[in-house]
């Protein structure tokens, strides 16, 4: 007899990204759904990985990560944010940004703890909280700008609040934190035991001259923050699943206790290659301008459509209202245009726990120009 199992995530099914990408592949649709580029990564970085393998960097590196890579990251943080980070005691290399987020939550959460989570939000956040026995306390970003209502945050803080989760640039909306958001955050967490988890995987994809408000810029926030990053988003190699977490020495010790019994060590040749490649500042400093060009190209192409594009100040993504086209549920609309018009998108209601439907879909524009043009040629017919 099969043992009876109690699901730790009874409300969770297959993610929308798997569903829509599978549908796109089945129908040979243009995929503007899942957030990954359809163009090649840097040939130089590929060569460096190849060299590392040939030089026999194929065994475990330390659990914390390859030290020269952590040293390169510390140099980068000081260059970008003016903050001195100890590569030995504050940086841990992880198999992707999502893993870093899960590990940080598992490090601090206990059953009954509460975590402030903003909606719409990346789909791993709520399950990561709930599988640790904690409670997701949800705050809706104000539509259509997707701004944080800090007064509502204050109202939802309780004695059980353990953490506030932030994501900037934001997936799925492309909104970003501003200086006034940092001021509000500081006032809320001052003299409390509240941790911060800051998902900054799109740190370099900032548009229109705006500055990324990293928790690493602010010593008082950083000491209570787990700041999570992704090499995949920075260097167009999402399949590598390689990222890192930066936090205080005290929190790093606890983070690594969880990490060492889960992943333990990440892909060695990639770490060796990245340690060298990070010295090339232009490779990450140029990313924002390159992605902004793609955003602007997509916006210009879409002027002939009946979609109303919302503002995007960062990330891979731009959202659009389709109320001039249909009053269908966004999930139905997304599936229909994939089937009937050959373009896969993501419905934004799936980024809410209870499926709030503002008739908005998300486009991913980190694609080749010919991909964007092929997609829009179909979209303007809708």
Check: CB of residue 179 under 8 Å from CB of residue 213: yes
Residue finishing a domain among 250, 279, 308: 279
Residue 70: burial class (beta carbons within 10 Å; 0-12, 13-18, 19+): buried
pLDDT score recorded for residue 305: 97
- Write out the residue range of the structural domain in which residue 72 sits: 58-279
Whether residue 358 is contained in a domain is answered as: yes
Identify the CA nearest to 214 among candidates 225, 193, 196, 200.
Answer: 200
Residue finishing a domain among 279, 311, 327: 279
Whether residue 11 is contained in a domain is answered as: no
CATH of the domain at 169: 3.40.640.10
Residues 248 and 106 in one domain: yes
In the sheet where 225-230 sits, what is the strand order?
91-94, 243-246, 225-230, 195-199, 161-167, 114-119, 135-140
Tens of pLDDT, residue by residue, the chain (382 residues): 788 888 888 888 777 778 888 888 898 999 998 888 999 999 999 999 999 999 999 999 999 999 999 999 999 999 999 999 999 999 999 999 999 999 999 999 999 999 999 999 999 999 999 999 999 999 999 999 999 999 999 999 999 999 999 999 999 999 999 999 999 999 999 999 999 999 999 999 999 999 999 999 999 999 999 999 999 999 999 999 999 999 999 999 999 999 999 999 999 999 999 999 999 999 999 999 999 999 999 999 999 999 999 999 999 999 999 999 999 999 999 999 999 999 999 999 999 998 899 999 999 999 999 999 999 999 999 9
Residues 204 and 349 in one domain: no
SS3 label, residue 195:
strand
Residue finishing a domain among 279, 311, 343: 279
Check: CB of residue 271 under 8 Å from CB of residue 69: yes
Residues 152 and 105 in one domain: yes
Whether residue 109 is contained in a domain is answered as: yes
Residues 20 and 101 in one domain: no
Q: Give the chain's domain count.
A: 2
The DSSP symbol for 138 reads E
Identify the CA nearest to 132 among candidates 158, 157, 159, 162.
Answer: 162
DSSP 224-288: TEEEEEEHHHHHT-GGG--EEEE--HHHHHHHHHHHTTTT----HHHHHHHHHHTT-THHHHTHH
Check: CB of residue 212 under 8 Å from CB of residue 203: yes
Whether residue 371 is contained in a domain is answered as: yes
For residues 225 and 178, what is the distance between their CA atoms, to the nearest angstrom? Answer: 18
Residues 94 and 145 in one domain: yes
For residues 322 and 319, what is the distance between their CA atoms, to the nearest angstrom? Answer: 10
Whether residue 53 is contained in a domain is answered as: no
Q: Which residues contact 140 (CB under 8 A, 6 or more apart)?
A: 118, 119, 352, 356
CATH of the domain at 30: 3.90.1150.10
For residues 100 and 310, what is the distance between their CA atoms, to the nearest angstrom? Answer: 30
């Amino acid at each position: 007899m099969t043992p009876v199992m109690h699901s730790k995530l009874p409300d969770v099914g297959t993610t929308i990204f798997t569903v829509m990408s599978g549908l796109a592949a089945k129908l040979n649709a243009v995929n503007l759904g899942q957030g990954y580029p359809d163009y090649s990564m840097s040939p130089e970085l590929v060569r460096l990985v190849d060299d590392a393998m040939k030089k026999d960097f194929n065994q475990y590196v330390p659990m914390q990560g390859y030290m020269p890579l952590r040293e390169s990251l510390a140099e980068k943080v000081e260059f970008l944010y003016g903050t001195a980070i100890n590569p030995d005691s504050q940086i841990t290399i992880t198999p992707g940004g999502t893993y870093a987020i899960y590990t940080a939550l598992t490090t601090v959460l206990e059953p009954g703890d509460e975590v402030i989570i903003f909606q719409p939000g990346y789909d791993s956040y709520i399950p990561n909280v709930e599988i640790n026995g904690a409670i997701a306390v949800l705050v809706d970003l104000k539509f259509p700008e997707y701004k944080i209502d800090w007064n509502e945050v204050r109202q939802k803080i309780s004695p059980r609040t353990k953490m506030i989760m932030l994501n900037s640039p934001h997936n799925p909306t492309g909104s970003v934190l501003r200086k006034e958001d940092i001021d509000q955050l500081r006032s809320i967490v001052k003299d409390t035991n509240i941790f911060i988890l800051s998902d900054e995987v799109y740190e370099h994809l900032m548009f229109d001259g705006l500055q990324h408000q990293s928790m690493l810029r602010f010593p008082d926030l950083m000491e209570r923050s787990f700041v999570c990053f992704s090499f995949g988003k920075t260097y167009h190699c999402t399949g590598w699943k390689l990222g890192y977490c930066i936090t205080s020495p005290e929190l790093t010790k606890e983070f690594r206790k969880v990490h060492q019994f889960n992943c333990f060590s990440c892909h060695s040749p990639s770490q060796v290659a990245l340690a060298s490649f990070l010295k090339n500042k232009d490779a990450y400093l140029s990313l924002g301008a390159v992605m902004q060009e793609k955003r602007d190209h997509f916006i210009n192409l879409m002027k002939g459509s009946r979609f109303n594009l919302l503002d995007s100040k960062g990330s891979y993504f731009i959202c659009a209202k389709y109320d001039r086209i249909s009053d269908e549920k966004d999930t139905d609309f997304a599936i229909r245009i994939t089937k009937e018009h050959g373009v896969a998108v993501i419905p934004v209601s799936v980024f809410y726990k209870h499926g709030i439907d503002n008739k908005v879909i998300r486009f991913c524009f980190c694609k080749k120009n010919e991909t964007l043009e092929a997609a829009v040629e179909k979209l303007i017919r809708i």
